[in-house]
Structure 1
């Protein structure tokens, strides 16, 4: 498996399996098993709101509903760890996909993208997939070719619960 086998469908749909913005954390954990790590920050209900399965991370509502508000795939690891199809088990594969590899994969999948200026500066560049809202951020500092740091999608409208 290659990280682009995960990221290309994510770019097209803003989903990774059961994980999507707006899904309940409990629905994702039914498929993936319990999170391998939880963030140290806690929301209004005292529950953590940062959850991870290796390089796959979710942030949930800070109140009580635990709806997923963002999904981030950290790709700036030499070896990435990822949940397998069997809950509680992991797979590993190489990280650091290059800018050229990502754009080639998106192009081959017929997935249009655009430059994303709000996250582009001297040290990084970013692209956005308009259809899904997925954003890919690349490190451009001290590298021969830009490498993908992370891909993410987030809720951009006010969330209300309880």
Structure 2
């Protein structure tokens, strides 16, 4: 497996396995088990709202409903860690895919994308897949080919819970 085997379907669907916007955290933990790490930030209810499985981060609403409102794949690690299909196991593979590799993988999958100006700033550029809302952010430092730092999707309007 490599990172593009994960990112291409993510770009097409906006989901990774059971992790999708609007799902509950319990749906993810039923498949992947308990999170390996939890964010240090807590919501008003005292619960953490950032949960990680290696390079996969899932954030939830800051309420007891624990509805997923963002999914991030951190690709800026030399070695990425990913939950395996084998309970309690992990897979590792190289991170930092290059801009050209990502665009080729999306093109080969028939997944249209567009430049995403709101996150194109000094030192980085971004693309977005309109169908899923997944955004890819690349670092452009050092004058080399841009390298992927993260791929993410998030809800931009709060849900009502409680």
Sort the TM-score into its range (normalised by shorter chain). Answer: over 0.9
Indicate if the aligned counterparts of 1:44 and 1:64 stay in contact, CA closer than 8 A. Answer: no
C-alpha distance in 2 between matches for 1:124 and 1:91:
28
C-alpha distance in 2 between matches for 1:122 and 1:47:
35
Q: How does 1:1-162 map to 2 (within 5 A)?
A: 1-162=1-162
Deviation per CA, 1:83-141, whole angstroms, max 9, x where unpaired?
A: 00123211000101000000000000000000000000121000000000000000001
RMSD over aligned Cα, in angstroms?
A: 0.7
TM-score of the aligned structures, taking structure 2 as reference length: 0.98
Count of residues in Structure 1 that have an aligned counterpart in Structure 2: 162
C-alpha distance in 1 between matches for 2:143 and 2:74:
18
Runs ≥4 in structure 1, deviation > 2 angstroms? none
Structure 2 unmatched runs, 5+: none
Indicate if the aligned counterparts of 1:71 and 1:154 stay in contact, CA closer than 8 A. Answer: yes
Pairwise CA distance, 1:142: 1.3
